[in-house]
Amino acid sequence: MNLSAKTVVLIAIGAALYGIGGLPMFGIPVFANTTLKPAMAVLALFSVLFGPLVGFLVGFIGHWVTDMFAGWGVWLTWVLGSGLVGLIIGLYPKITRGRLDMGKFTKFDFSLFVFLAFLGNVIGYGCSAYLDSVLYAEPFTKVMAQLTIIATGNTLLIAIVGHYILTAVAKRKQQSYNLKEAD
């Protein structure tokens, strides 16, 4: 794997924003050890704008940072889950063939973005919930409740924030895409 300096810097910035923004003081506690984090929008946007590798590493490293600074120890199962969320949402530019880079963000594109956010949360944190149940003997009903709350809440948060930001990104890209050289 050969990462450019730009990609490494993007990962570092994204992971720092996601990691610090994921601290409990910035979240909304909703269930046992479960907090809705506005930082999920950071993960989704870095994933959409820079692809699955950046998305995975921002989620993985960023969640690790959150766990370290929060003081409850690093939960690798949930760190992996955040990485998977970023990876799945990061498939967006490949599936849409870079339409956002051309300044296009249609209702279908938005629906796809929300679907990938939901799918990423269900698969990523579903793996986390399953691994917690198997490796740490967490009660299955508890981890399933956590998964349901997280997948629903994160998807809504990502959809709301993402709609405004990706619409603005598309408008900005459209202006750049339509620039022509003067004769």
| CATH number of the structural domain spanning residue 83 | 1.10.1760.20
Closest to 100 (Cα-Cα) out of 113, 119, 115, 84 = 113
**Which band of pLDDT confidence, cut at 50, 70 and 90, is reported for residue 178?**
low
pLDDT of residue 183: 47
Query: To the nearest whole number, what is the mean pLDDT of the chain?
Result: 92
How is residue 68 written in tokens? 């370290």
- Answer yes or no: is 182 within a domain: no
- Answer yes or no: is 88 within a domain: yes
Rounded to whole angstroms, the Cα distance separating 49 from 20 reads 20
Instruction: Name the most confidently modeled range: 25-29, 85-89, 137-141.
Output: 85-89
- Answer yes or no: is 128 within a domain: yes
What Å distances lie between residue 101 and 95, 97, 177, 179, CA to CA? 13, 9, 8, 14
* 82-98 pLDDT tens trace: 999 999 999 999 999 99
* 32-74 pLDDT tens trace: 667 788 899 999 999 999 999 999 999 999 999 999 998 888 9
Helix then strand then coil, in percent of the chain rounded to 5, is: 75, 5, 20
pLDDT of residue 27: 81
Q: What is the domain range of residue 44?
A: 5-177
Q: Is 76 helix (H, G, I), strand (E, B) or coil?
A: helix
- Structural domains of the chain, count: 1
- Answer yes or no: is 24 within a domain: yes
- Answer yes or no: is 183 within a domain: no
Pairing assessment for the beta strands 34-36 and 28-31 based on DSSP bridges: antiparallel
Greater model confidence, 29 or 4: 4
